[in-house]
Chains A and B, each alone.
Chain A
Amino acid sequence: MTLKGTYKLPARRQKVWDALLDPGVLARTLPGCKSLEAVGPDEYRMNMALAISSLKGVFEGKVRIEDQQPPESYRLTVQGRGKIGFVNGGGSFRLRESEGAETEIEYQGDVKAGGTIASVGQRLMNMTSKMMIKRFFTALEKELTPPV
């Protein structure tokens, strides 16, 4: 399954970049994230709860950040495993500063799922992924918006 899209965030590029690579921010903004800890340079261990179709499960996974071109682009690879199957994915993120101190993020990636999650959840995978991406960016936007 291919996912791609853009999202506009109300902050300057460097600030968005820093947030995207901050484990604390990611732990707060990634949907279902139970824990996120660094296990090496640009490598994290993550626990994530996921519900899709009639399935619910916790995925344990590794997140790695590669090909960093601060503050323009990087690649993210995710490998998660749980009782209801596994999810492997990878994608690239490009950050562009637009007028008015806004940053547009363009993302493009592939997600592959296996096991029960593939045979049972396939129908809803696309929708669920889009919903999760939206929740992530909404949460990130909140992080980046200074409290009133």
Chain B
Amino acid sequence: MATTTTAPKLKTHVGERIRRTEDPRLITGAACYLDDITRPGMLHAAVLRSPYAAARINSISIEDALALPGVKAVYVGKDVESVGGVPCAGSMPDLRIPNHKILAGDRVYYVGHPVAAVVATDKYIAADAIERIEVDYEPTELVSDPEEALQEGAVKVHPEYPDNVAFTFSQEGGDVEEAFRQADVIVKEKILVPRLAPIPIETRGVVAEYDEGSQELTIYSSTQIPHLLRTQLALQLNMPEHHVRVIAPEVGGGFGSKCNVWAEEALAAFVAMELKQPVKWVESRRESILVVAHGRAHVDTLELAAKNDGTLLGLKLHILCDIGAHHQLLTPIIPTLAVLMLPGLYKFRSFKADLIGAFTNRAPSDLYRGAGRPEATYVIERMVDKLAAEIGMDPAEIRFKNFPASTDFPFNSATGLQYDSGDYATAFNKALDIVDYKARRAEQEAARAEGRLYGIGISTYGEICAFGPSPATPAGGWESASVNVEATGKVAVMTGISPHGQGEETSFAQLTADALGIPMDDIVVVHGDTAKVHYGIGTFGSRGISIGGSALHLALQDVVAKATKYAAHMMGVDAETVTFEGGVFSSEATDSTLTLADVALEAHLCRQLPPGTEPGLAATRFFEPSNFAFPFGAHICVTEVDKETGEVDIQRFVAVDDCGRIINPLLVEGQIHGGIAQGLGPAFQEGVIYDDEGQLLNGTLMDYSIPKARNMPWIETDRTETPSPVNPLGTKGVGEAGTIGSLPAFVNSVVDALSPLGIEHIDIPMTSQSIWNAIHERSRT
């Protein structure tokens, strides 16, 4: 009698807290970052940058630099005119795109504008030679402040655009004027969202190498988007794409700053082709803070109309975005995301937004972690709190009142987005329970009775992720994945996303291990090389798991279907009768089993398979979602402000985040923790400072203050899981959540603490000094 044996069920991987398979090589120093790369005969480049925010270049003298032993070449603007400009993907009808050359022509427009490049046998000679270049600058009038830039008679950043308007964008939904007529209460505020420097631990860098024989250009770049960079470089250099190979080595953080196409990338490529020698350029930290597109840079003016019972009616918004002197890849698109996400998690009936991008004599601004959504969430969460204070309603209650119900999904926002799924009240209630909201309010009352400044700040945030449907994205919203079961039974996964800290080598191996029933050790995840992975878009906008992972999911299904067919043939049974579990194909009818490795070997040897069977066991699939995914959550921050010093003590920080289905909770928590740090930094200390001459005044990490470990609170995380219906994994994305949710929770908490003094708003960064000043202005009057 045949006995049924069940293959021992392997441990499942999806949903488990599995440590990152990337970490051993990172911790032991075995990883290869951009600056670890050397090529035979490699030269080193350095870039000379303008010290002026606006100047004419009368002449450049390079003789002294060329005379320095070891210097191979010096390039100025006119030498690289054949190279196409830095691309911009915006598409507003009135978008103005000034010619963004890779080296300045006869004018410079911002401090840090690249003016010349030196190529030498080592980086120290290159740096010394830079100092020997004599540039005769003739400083011209300039405008540094974005509000001044839009005033009549302001200095023109680009003489061809007399009003400094780079683009405009408007959106309207519902009857906003009627909403304001019906309102019992209207609250207004002007809120500044300062420029932020992205500060990846690894700065930008490029190695370019050209093979004259094959005419192949290989670009190693510390990038988030190797495939898009390949296309853009091919266009800039007028080469066929198949002659350009882009490799993203280990990338030490990006936060959006490497989701760009930079002048230095094309410059290095041009130099390598000119000199027929490999060349490396690695950015210094000073250059990074000075010119790597800053994020945010908004001046927002808001008006919110509501009923006395807290019902939100309408919202008017004016965004002035300081875009700097030039566009980078996504500069005009980022503030439109802020417009789209401004209604947050609330059922607004009407909405009107005007966005204006202003040219200034400052470095370009572009995406930084969250890209538009932190700006939106910060201002709407401030406004809702301000309204609650105005009508004397609890800030938790006003939020519950305006959430759509979990049965309202898909929910159409006032800006025309369709939020895929959500259960806002459950996540919020969980956060309130963890912090014990009622007890905190009681504690606040007791503290106030003693004259102490104790605050509870709430932020219920929404997020747009998993970019995205192609028609709504500038460069294609799909992603590719290939699965190849090798003859030995080991599996290679090729993905078009380009992780740089997110840990997808781990999470993709988890998905693969479960789908194929094999150990994670048998799986290698390949990414970041256009020669190994032929198609891809890259990693940004929390698209790794949801889009790249979904493509992988489809490819894995194909592989399993193929292998099941082959196994059935090998066992002489119908494919429908074969079960696949734990990496083993079994047929009850014949009481036989085959492992995935058995089938993979046969698929390569093709000895038993029917003639005409395609050899190998591989599949490639693309995935494009029907919609974005919309994660959400609630952050609550409890603070006490020292009246004497303005110092803020964060006593509790609770983050309940819902990013859909979770593949690896450990990675999710890592994203939340890092995200919160990058949200809290600008809340209390970060921000790029320009003076009225367009000079950046805090250009080192001694001056530009990112949060240190001692500034961070203990973070209490929890989650709810509301699957997304727009991708087969049900995931939503978590790359930006912490950054988006944390900033308003902190600010609302401090304003709540200070509210007994009549303080309604303090702009960020809320330094101890600005808080102290606000306290003392109040006590003087």
Chain A interface residues toward B at CB < 8 A: 83, 85-86, 112-116, 118-120, 122-123
Contact = CB atoms under 8 A, between A and B. Distances in A.
Chain B contact patch, size range = 10 to 19
Nearest to A115: B51
A119 B52 contact: no
A119 B698 contact: yes
Contact of A118 (B50, B289, B695): B695
Contacts of A120: 286, 699-700, 703
Contact of B700 (A83, A86, A114, A119): A119
A95 B697 CA distance: 34
A116 B51 contact: yes
Given A118-B111, A119-B699, A122-B697, 5 more contacts: A114-B111, A115-B695, A116-B699, A118-B695, A119-B698
B51 A123 contact: no
A112 B693 CA distance: 8
A112 B131 CA distance: 22
B702 interface: yes
Contacts of A123: 702-703
A87 to B, nearest CB: 11
Contacts of B691: 118
Q: In the complex, which of the residues A85, A112, A116 has the most CB atoms of chain B within 10 Å of its own CB atom?
A: A116
Given A83-B131, A122-B697, A115 B111 contact: yes
Interface of B: 50-53, 111, 131, 286, 289-290, 691, 693, 695-700, 702-703
Q: Which 7 A-B pairs have the closest CB atoms?
A: A115-B51, A119-B699, A118-B695, A122-B697, A83-B131, A85-B51, A119-B696
B131 A119 contact: no
A142 B717 CA distance: 67
**For the complex, would chain B's binding face be called helix, strand, loop or mixed by DSSP majority?**
loop
Contacts of B703: 119-120, 122-123
Residue picked from B52, B286, B703, most chain A C-beta under 10 Å: B703
B692 to A, nearest CB: 9
Contacts of A119: 111, 286, 289-290, 695-700, 703
Nearest to A83: B131
Given A83-B131, A85-B51, A123-B702, A118 B286 contact: no
A114 B697 CA distance: 9
Given A83-B131, A123-B702, A114 B286 contact: no
Contacts of B695: 113-115, 118-119
B698 A122 contact: yes
25 contacts: A83-B131, A85-B51, A86-B52, A114-B51, A114-B53, A114-B693, A114-B695, A115-B111, A116-B286, A116-B699, A118-B695, A118-B696, A118-B699, A119-B289, A119-B695, A119-B697, A119-B698, A119-B699, A119-B700, A119-B703, A120-B286, A120-B699, A122-B697, A122-B698, A122-B699
A93 B695 CA distance: 28
Contacts of A122: 697-699, 703
B686 to A, nearest CB: 16
A86 B693 contact: no
Nearest to B702: A123
A52 B428 CA distance: 51
A123 B695 CA distance: 14
A81 to B, nearest CB: 8
Contacts of A85: 51
Contacts of B111: 114-115, 118-119
Nearest to B699: A119
A113 B699 CA distance: 14
B132 to A, nearest CB: 9
Contacts of B702: 123
A123 B289 CA distance: 16
A118 B131 contact: no
A116 B697 CA distance: 9
A22 B395 CA distance: 70
